[in-house]
Amino acid sequence: MGAVAVVGGGIAGLTAAYRLKQRGTRVVVYEAGDRVGGSIRTERRDGYIAELGPNALASPSPALRALIAELGLEPSLLPASPAAKNRYVLRKGKLLPLPLSPQALLTTRLLSNGAKLAVFGEPLVEAGESPVEESIATFVRRRFNQEVLDYVANPFVGGIYAGDPEQLSVRLALPKLYALERTHGSVIKAFGSMMRARKRDAEAGAAAVAGGLMSFRSGLSELPEALGRALHAEIRLRAPVTQLRAGPRGWTVGAAFQQSELYDGVVWAAPAHRVDELDLDFPGADRLRTLASISHPPVAVLGLGFRREDVTHPLDGFGFLVPEVERRHVLGVIFASTLFPGRAPEGHVTLTAFVGGVRNPDLANADLPTITARVLDDLRALLGARGEPTFRTFSYWPKAIPQYDLTYGRYREIMDDVERRNPGLALAGSYREGISIAEVVASAEAAARVGAGG
């Protein structure tokens, strides 16, 4: 294909544009803001490297690993520190490590004996075939019990989606979990074989630390920055697209402060919630506009540095997650300087707190002094933090993460239908096939191949 416009310079748009350019397509990336990377944003200041969006690549897919290698980023790739293996969950005001082995499960205080029985008994629960879309909460109650939902599933869904397990579809939001019941007949049996495989890999020397989490020496922004360098001449910043029209000669793309231009194809890689702000004219445009009603709760991220001696907790883990029933302010906190080395100056630590989500949108939308006070309350009570932070950074995401809820299947059908009816249009991004960076990259590779790349 001759020329393709890519709308959005987040990781989806950059990846799609990079692949299109590699195949000899003329490509222009229109980015509304004044920087590329979208949700991926690293701040480097005063000896700290702080993530204001995602913190880690979780088990990067082969496609993402290939992209990293092609961009020459492999020497900078940083596996999570083995010290980050523990994941704490709050119960009755205490941070307790999530049990990661049957022995640990037997002795943990995170779950009552009744919940432990539900976990050990889960392989005996018959696989269910739900006639309607099943929520994560219903799935977990069906296979385990309410307490496992409250103290395991709820905090994890808060940590990944800033979402509510009662609202999210298990099939669409956690497809791997959903598939385990189908492939192994049991989540616990499947986890058992995965743990054994991981142990074998670890013994064979493969990188299996802290669940395969990765970043780069100077933070996750290294990835969009490298793509930005490779696409330098093709990127237009401060160029929000306002018009997409299909006509007999191709696609007319209009953007603020730019002359309209004609393209053979378009990749929409801006967030779903922006789609109704544009003047759209192509088959199915009205249906596509409904994607703007996908729920995206707000999240605020507060990164704080402390002197090591001012935090009493050993910080020997990835961080902690908070079950909703525990009624604290934060959704969770990442022990960022434990997770990856080099994130804080000698003798200091960094903690990254997340607030808001579906659970508490008002707090994410509050002013910075209020958010800081609430986060500090939790850090003092739960980690024994004291004194003034030595570093502060903050980011507010008013529409942070698309919620793959019980109605999401309908949006998927609309996306597939609109792509079918418009061979020159492809949709990529966190709203397409999954919210993790690896899934977003996969959607962009597909968009570059199928939709616009031909």
Ligand X SMILES: Cc1cc2nc3c(=O)[nH]c(=O)nc-3n(C[C@H](O)[C@H](O)[C@H](O)COP(=O)(O)OP(=O)(O)OC[C@H]3O[C@@H](n4cnc5c(N)ncnc54)[C@H](O)[C@@H]3O)c2cc1C
Segment interacting with ligand X (CB under 6 A) among 94-102, 147-155, 263-271, 318-326: 263-271
Please tell me the chain's helix, strand, coil percentages from 3-state DSSP, rounded to the nearest 5.
40, 25, 35
By CB under 6 A, residue 9 contacts ligand X: yes
By CB under 6 A, residue 353 contacts ligand X: no
Nearer Cβ to ligand X (154/436)? 436
By CB under 6 A, residue 212 contacts ligand X: no
Local structure of residue 447 (DSSP, 8 states): I
- Provide, rounded to whole angstroms, the least separation between the CB of residue 450 and ligand X: 17
The answer to whether residues 60 and 77 touch, using CB atoms and an 8 Å cutoff, is no
Centre a 10 Å sphere on the Cβ of residue 298 and count the other Cβ atoms it contains. Answer: 21
Give 70's contacts (C-beta < 8 A, 6+ positions apart). none
Segment interacting with ligand X (CB under 6 A) among 52-60, 81-89, 124-132, 173-181: 52-60
- Provide, rounded to whole angstroms, the least separation between the CB of residue 156 and ligand X: 13
Query: What separation in angstroms does the CA of 183 have from each of 61, 177, 262, 319?
Result: 20, 10, 47, 31
By CB under 6 A, residue 11 contacts ligand X: yes
- Provide, rounded to whole angstroms, the least separation between the CB of residue 15 and ligand X: 8
By CB under 6 A, residue 240 contacts ligand X: yes
Q: Which of 137, 269, 333, 415 binds ligand X (CB under 6 A)?
A: 269
> What does the per-residue mask of binding to ligand X show for 421-440, with x meaning CB under 6 A?
--------xx----xxx--x
CA distance 366 to 375: 12
Q: Which of 1, 3, 10, 219 binds ligand X (CB under 6 A)?
A: 10
Q: Which of 142, 274, 289, 392 binds ligand X (CB under 6 A)?
A: 274
The answer to whether residues 315 and 338 touch, using CB atoms and an 8 Å cutoff, is yes
By CB under 6 A, residue 352 contacts ligand X: no
- Provide, rounded to whole angstroms, the least separation between the CB of residue 115 and ligand X: 27
Q: Which of 1, 12, 67, 425 binds ligand X (CB under 6 A)?
A: 12
The answer to whether residues 318 and 86 touch, using CB atoms and an 8 Å cutoff, is yes
End-to-end CA distance of the chain: 6
By CB under 6 A, residue 299 contacts ligand X: yes
Locate 67 and state its tokens. Answer: 């992209």
- Provide, rounded to whole angstroms, the least separation between the CB of residue 196 and ligand X: 26
Write down the H helix ranges in 352-421: 361-364, 368-383, 408-421
By CB under 6 A, residue 32 contacts ligand X: yes
Nearer Cβ to ligand X (146/242)? 242
- Provide, rounded to whole angstroms, the least separation between the CB of residue 256 and ligand X: 9
- Provide, rounded to whole angstroms, the least separation between the CB of residue 229 and ligand X: 17
Nearer Cβ to ligand X (10/305)? 10
Q: Is the dihedral of CA 7, 13, 14, 19 positive or negative?
A: negative
Q: Is the dihedral of CA 164, 352, 52, 42 positive or negative?
A: negative
Give 15's contacts (C-beta < 8 A, 6+ positions apart). 67, 227, 428, 440, 441, 444, 445, 448
Q: With CB under 6 A, what is the number of residues at the site for ligand X? A: 37
Nearer Cβ to ligand X (12/188)? 12
- Of residues 110-169, which lie at the interface with ligand X (CB under 6 A)? none
Which residue(s) pair with 353 in the sheet? 302, 333
By CB under 6 A, residue 6 contacts ligand X: no
- Provide, rounded to whole angstroms, the least separation between the CB of residue 8 and ligand X: 3
Contacts 24+ apart (CB under 8 A), 359-366: 359/158, 359/162, 359/164, 359/324, 359/331, 360/329, 360/331, 361/297, 361/298, 363/300, 363/329, 364/297, 364/298, 364/299, 364/300, 364/396, 364/397, 365/298, 365/398, 366/300
Nearer Cβ to ligand X (180/435)? 435
Q: Which of 30, 88, 263, 320 binds ligand X (CB under 6 A)?
A: 30
Nearer Cβ to ligand X (115/300)? 300
By CB under 6 A, residue 285 contacts ligand X: no
Length of the chain as a residue count: 454
The single residue listed with the structure tokens 């890689």 is: 269
Instruction: List residues binding ligand X (CB under 6 A).
Output: 7-13, 30-33, 38-40, 53-58, 240-241, 269-271, 274, 299, 301, 397, 400-401, 429-430, 435-437, 440
